[in-house]
Every structure is written in C-alpha cells, then in structure tokens.
Chain A
Amino acid sequence: MAGATSLHAGGDVAARFENRAATREPAWFKWMLIAVSLTFFALFLLMPLIAVFVEALRKGWDTYLAALIEPDAVSAIKLTLIAAVIAVPLNLTFGVAAAWAITKFNFRGKHLLITLIDLPFSVSPVVAGLIYVLVFGAQGWFGPWLQGHDVKIIFAVPGIVLATIFVTFPFIARELIPLMQAQGKEEEEAAVVLGANGWQTFWYVTLPNIKWGLMYGVILCNARAMGEFGAVSVVSGHIRGLTNTMPLHVEILYNEYQFAAAFAVASLLALLALVTLAVKTWVEYQATKAKDVTE
C-alpha cells in the first residue's frame, strides 16, 4: 500500500543512518532540522487547531451548545452528512470499478481514463462548481428542460451532492490503482482456473487484498466530502436551513460577526479531521500488520 504505509516505513533506515559514524550528520544539522519542522508544525498546524477550540468555547459552554443545536446549524450538519453518505458509496463503487478496469484489462482510452480521474485534483473547485451551474443552471444546457420537468439541481441538494461527488472522485481510485497494479492478476487467474466466478473472485480474492487501501481511500474521500467548500459554495446558493453545508454555514456566521457560533461549528469540522486522522492511523497500523503476515 504505497500511500498508506510510506510515512511510517522510514524508522529502520533512520536508525541505521544515525548509529553509523560514516553516515551520521552533524548534531547542529539534525537539531536545526528538527527545530524548523517542529516550529512550523506548532505555528501553522497546532496553533490554528487550538485556536478553533479556544474561540469556540470563549463565551462558555452554553453558547457553544446553543450554536450547534440552532436549527440552521442542525440543517447544515444534516446536509453535510447526506452529501457524504451519497457521495462516498458512489465514489467507492466508481473507484473500485475504475481501478479494476485499469489494472486488470487492456482497452482503448485507458490512458485517457487515468488522466481524467485526476481532473478533480487539478481543476479549481470553483471551476468545478461553475461547470455544474453552466450545465444544470437556469441558463445552462439542460436548464430549460429541467425547469419544464420541475427538477431543481442547482441551488438545491442534488447540485451539492453532484459537486461533492465530482470533487471526491479521485480519492479511492487513486489509492487502489497502484496497489492493484503491484499485486498483478495472477491470484485472480488462479481463482478463475479453480472454478470461481467473477463475483466470487472479487469477493474472496481481490477485495481482501485491497481492503486496507480501500478503507484508506474511503476515509480521505469522506473527509473531503464533508469539508468541501469551493465547488459546493458555487452550486449551493447559500439558502439557510436548505442548501447550507457545514463549511458554508461557518462562513455565513463568520461574515455576520457571530464568531463564537462560527468557531463552534468549525470545531465540529476540526473534530471530524481529528477522528479521520485517528481512524487513518489505525487503518495504516492494521495494513502494516496485515502486510507482515502476507508478505
């Protein structure tokens, strides 16, 4: 699992370099590097995180809770969850299908597909949102038809879901493709020769081999789905209680100088990030453990 384990794999090498006089760097160099990275970490990562919680709780616990159970906030939380609950399974299906197609089959347009999978990463989220407005908006390609059939996509929940799907498109496929490429297709061939059908091969052979990579992709996909701002902001229309997701709600509150409430909702997002990190670390740990058994 290229992405999931690389961060933790360096320990042995580092110790070996450190213990040998021939490869050891001077002490001042080592401590300077450590100081620079720790300072940077404290200033740009840790401090803002602490600031979020400090600001959120500045006016006391009651204000904090009130900001979270206020109807507009609750509706924003709900909408965020809905978007994630729809987008993540869809991208899970698509990601596995795309990774499977790319790594196990040869077909025309394969390179194009690999390139297109990365498109959401390379294009600005605002542009992504705008594309949906141009396609589905009132003046867009399908706008009149949609209006005629009384279907609302832009400035409504479907638009938000679509934008979220677009932005979180690559996470799972990107995680699986290198993993499945490295594993090759011999085990699948062995399964088929032994009489397994396509579904059995996937369920009993392919899936167990990719499950930790898949989990990792799902976690990242989910984190992004809940935190997405740019694309969703364009298609949402910022209608309170209707089309506001949590990040959009934070912005509105902040613009209205309700700092405590803004930070309260933001603290939920920060908590989500912390939980994501914890789960991610756990998955990485499990993946390393599974790797020790299987390799």
Chain B
Amino acid sequence: MSIQVQNIHKAFGDFVALGDVSLDFPTGELVALLGPSGCGKTTLLRIIAGLESADGGRVLLDGEDASDTHVRERHVGFVFQHYALFRHMSVFDNVAFGLRMKPRSQRPSEKAIRTKVHDLLKLVQLDWLADRFPAQLSGGQRQRIALARALAVEPRVLLLDEPFGALDAKVRKELRRWLRRLHDELHITSIFVTHDQEEALEVADRVVLMDHGKVEQIGTPEEVYRHPATPFVYGFLGAVNHFSGHVDGQSVRVGDEVLRHAAPDLKHGDEVIAFARPHELDIVTDLAGTDGVPARVARVLSFGVTARVELDGLNGATGQHFEVELTRERVEALALQEGQTVRLHPQRLRVFAR
C-alpha cells in the first residue's frame, strides 16, 4: 500500500517540527527517514501512524485521506524504539494481542491465533521463546518480538521508530541485515526512522534526508551519497572537510590559496563553501606556490587498513581542522612529522553557493 503525506505542518509551541512536508512512499518499498535528532522525522512517522496529529496537511493511505481516521482503524504496524512490549504478558500473548482485541465477529478462533502466532515467531526465529516474559529477553530479541507483534494484525504498512536505536553496535548490524531480508520476503511498504546514516544507506531502498523539519533530499542510497544536493546532506552522510572562499575563474580561492576545481554553474566572485571527503584530499610536502591549503600535521593514526592524518588549518583556514585518509604506503612515503607544515590538495571538490 502506498503512503502519501501532503503539506504536513506541525509545531510544538514556537518550535516548528515539520514545515510543509510532502512525500510519496511507493508500495512495497523500504524507505529510511534520516536526519539528526530534532529534525522532525519521528514526528512525521507518528503523524503517519496517527499517534500525533498534524496542524495542517493530509496523510493518504492507499490514495484515501486518512487524516481523520483513528489510529486503530489505520491498520498500520508500529515498532517503538524501546519496544513497548506488554511487560506482564508472555511473548506469545504479546504477539497474540492484536488478534485477540479484534471485535468478536472478526476475531480468529483461539486455535487459529495459536497457529498464526507460532508462524510469526518462526518468522522472527524466536519460536522457542514463546513462554518467556519480555524482561527475560535481550534487546535484539525484544525488538524482533515487537516486530512479530506488529505483523500479527497484517498491517498495510510498517512503521519503525529508531528500531535499532537502543541496541549495541554488533546486534544492530545483525538486525539491520535481518530486517532487509525480512522486507525482501514480505514486501510490505515500510518506513523506518534513523539518525544513523550507515544504517539508512545499508538497509533502505530509498532515503529521505531531513533537517529542521524540511526534506533536504530524496533518492536511492547511491544517489544521495554520490550526489548530495545540499551542504547539509553532504555533511551528514560522511566525514567531511570544508573550505569557505569565493569562486576565482576555474578555482576556489581560500584566503591567498587556490583550490582547483571545475564549477560551470557558479559565477566569478560568488561566495562558496567547498567540501571534500577525507579520502579525496592528498597531502603534499612541497610548500612552494599557492596551490592547495596549508595545514599543520597534528596527529598521524596508522593502525587501520588506511591511515588517517589530522591537521590544523593555517593562513586562510586558521582554526579549522582537517582529516585526510591515505593509504599506508603513501603515509610512509611522505614520512610526516607531527608539527610539520604541508599543503592539502583536493582531488575532488563539491562546491555549493552560500
């Protein structure tokens, strides 16, 4: 089932949580709402579920206006960050809850419920935990039970609010892969909220980037990572180095220094901000000329597959910190000393007008 939100507006007092947000979630896709905390992503998810009401705008489920439909008639599955399992009920009773609450005419027989619950518990691979209480489960198990409980009522859409937010790194990674596989099996339209860019890029078919209650970019993980539309998206999707300056012909001028680059759509003299990822910068020890930004080596960290060099900017970039990722061979060839002055050469630069 498709979900559309149109011109959703929501404010808490003076704080605008969502400012005129319109989005389309096509049938069968797994979409990530990605953004820093306070960007409005959870509020949007709760508005879609009906747990929160918008000040303006509409929510369409399957093309029908559901703005005034009560939560319990929307037939959505919702998974909470802190699981919200019924703590006084066994795992079995938790999963069976939605079925047992149906009006008598629609309620399946107790036998049918039992079959269904066990099928779902098998689906989340926790059939052996049916008689336990939520408190006796690990975080990862609880979240899978919460998912089974949401799926029991055969929701038209699945909404997940930071589903892995309360788990430790290793379990998170496992569950991510598991959720992706599950979605490939069920093909239920799903939206999940996260502030972890790696999680969003890894799991989702499509990523919606949000900041300050606005949508910044929508696209496949590949698109948003390769072609970030705004400085915010560029900065949010990975480590960055940024340079502020102005366009000077075929280059960006930062103070007296020059960064070469081609930006056909920007006019001479425009104030700009330029980004480069750590692996897109190179270090040159030859200080002659004005090509590249001068910086002082602060630390060389060479324990991984690649080496990281942290630097403090000089001259036009004083007060800024840079991070460069190089191969270990390159770092050894350069023989960098802490405190040494070098120049940074971007091999690739993404320039945004300010």
| Interface, chain A (partner B; CB < 8 A) | 186-187, 189-197, 200, 204-205, 208-209, 290, 293-295
B51, B85, B135: the one contacting A193 at CB < 8 Å is B51
Q: How far is the CA of A189 from the CA of B98 in the complex (A)?
A: 12
A186 partner residues in chain B, CB cutoff 8 A: 80, 82, 84
Chain B residues with Cβ under 8 A from A200's Cβ?
A: 101
Beta-carbon contact of A193 and B76 below 8 Å = yes
CB of A89, distance to nearest CB on chain B (Å): 24
Instruction: Indicate if B77 sits at the interface (CB-CB under 8 A).
Output: yes
CB proximity of B322 to chain A, nearest CB, Å: 43
Give the 6 A-B CB pairs with smallest separation, nearest first: A194-B98, A186-B84, A294-B87, A190-B84, A196-B101, A208-B88
For residue A208, which residues in chain B have a CB less than 8 angstroms away from its CB? 86, 88
Q: How far is the CB of B339 from chain A (nearest CB, A)?
A: 46
Q: Does A204 contact B135, Cβ atoms closer than 8 Å?
A: no
Contact flag A191-B78 (CB < 8 Å), given A196-B72, A294-B135: no
How many inter-chain residue pairs (CB < 8 Å) link A and B? 70
Question: Which B73-111 residues have C-beta < 8 A from chain A?
Answer: 75-78, 80, 82, 84-88, 97-98, 101-102
Count class of interface residues, chain B: 20 to 34
Q: Which of A193, A197, A209, A293 contacts B78 (CB 8 A)?
A: A193
* Shortest distance from the beta carbon of B81 to any chain A beta carbon, whole Å: 9
CB-based contact B82/A293 at 8 Å:
no
| Contact of B134 with A by CB under 8 A | yes
- Is B72 a contact partner of A192 (Cβ separation < 8 A)? yes
Given contacts A186-B84, A205-B86, contact A194 B135 (CB under 8 A): no
Q: Cα distance A294–B94 when bound, in Å?
A: 13
| Bound-complex Cα distance A293 to B153 (A) | 27
Looking at A192, A193, A200, A293, which has the most chain B CB atoms within 10 Å of its CB? A193
In whole angstroms, how far apart are the Cα atoms of A290 and B133 in the complex? 11
Given the contacts A193-B76, A194-B97, A194-B101, A295 and B87 also touching, CB distance less than 8 Å: yes
**Interchain Cβ contacts under 8 Å between A and B, 17 examples:** A190-B85, A190-B86, A191-B101, A193-B51, A193-B72, A193-B150, A194-B97, A194-B101, A194-B153, A195-B72, A195-B75, A195-B98, A196-B101, A208-B88, A293-B135, A294-B133, A294-B135
In the assembled complex, the CB of A287 is this many whole angstroms from the nearest CB of chain B, namely 12
**Contact call A189/B80, Cβ cutoff below 8 A:** yes
Enumerate chain A residues within 8 angstroms of B153, measured Cβ to Cβ: 194-195
Q: Which residues of B contact A204 (CB under 8 A)?
A: 86, 97, 101
Assuming A189-B78, A193-B76, what are 14 further A-B pairs, CB within 8 angstroms? A186-B82, A189-B84, A190-B84, A194-B97, A194-B150, A194-B153, A195-B75, A195-B101, A197-B72, A204-B101, A208-B86, A209-B87, A293-B133, A295-B135
